[in-house]
Amino acid sequence: MAVKKTSTQAPFPQVVRGADLDRRAVLYSRVSTLNGQDPEMQSREIREYCLRRGWPLVGEYVDRGISGAKERRPQLDRLIADAHKRKFEVIVVWKFDRFARSVSHLLRALENFRALGIEFVSLSEQIDTSTPTGKMIFTVLGAVAELERSLIAERVRAGLRNAKAKGRKLGRPSKRVNPTQIAALRAQGVPWRRIGTQLGVSAATAYAACKGRL
């Protein structure tokens, strides 16, 4: 009698054994308009990916008809709030531009997630910050962003030096106040705060002008 062989092959070969299976995942998807765009395509691919990885999908955050350039996105804001509550360990998106409005926005978010112990996966770019390759790419992106910030700062400093060399006065122009007018208002019992509001300066500036310090 033939002995029936028991298959030991895992149903999903991509599943990583061990601690990886303890990670709770959430998905984020977004479409800019509701005219012919459906976030379900993104969500479906993310669900299939999480199934292959063996990650339980514990939440879905979907913004519909919202431009990626907008500062506020209801579902993304909710995801960030839940991340701080440690409700999951992995965020999976279909593509970077579905999540972040710029490279700098993406890097700030990834740094925040890393501090919270949350991994980030982008399917289209095949980026997974839980892997050595993903960590390397994140480091490279961070270095490029830091270089960009340094170049911008150097250009600003060069512009200031150039303006100073040409004799231009830097900083905001100082506001002129009339000490006599301030003294008259004080004689009427007007508080310093109200005097400053009337003259468009702070109460401290009004006081200093009245005392002859300006």
Residue 104 annotated as catalytic = no
Query: Is there a contact between 74 and 28 (Cβ–Cβ < 8 Å)?
Result: no
- CB-based contacts of 151, cutoff 8 Å, min separation 6: none
What are the start-end ranges of the E strands in 32-161? Answer: 57-64, 90-93, 119-122, 127-128
Task: Identify residue 175 by its one-letter amino acid code.
Answer: K
Query: Is there a contact between 82 and 118 (Cβ–Cβ < 8 Å)?
Result: no
Which of 32, 102, 150, 174 is labelled catalytic?
Answer: 32
User: Which residues are known catalytic residues?
Assistant: 32
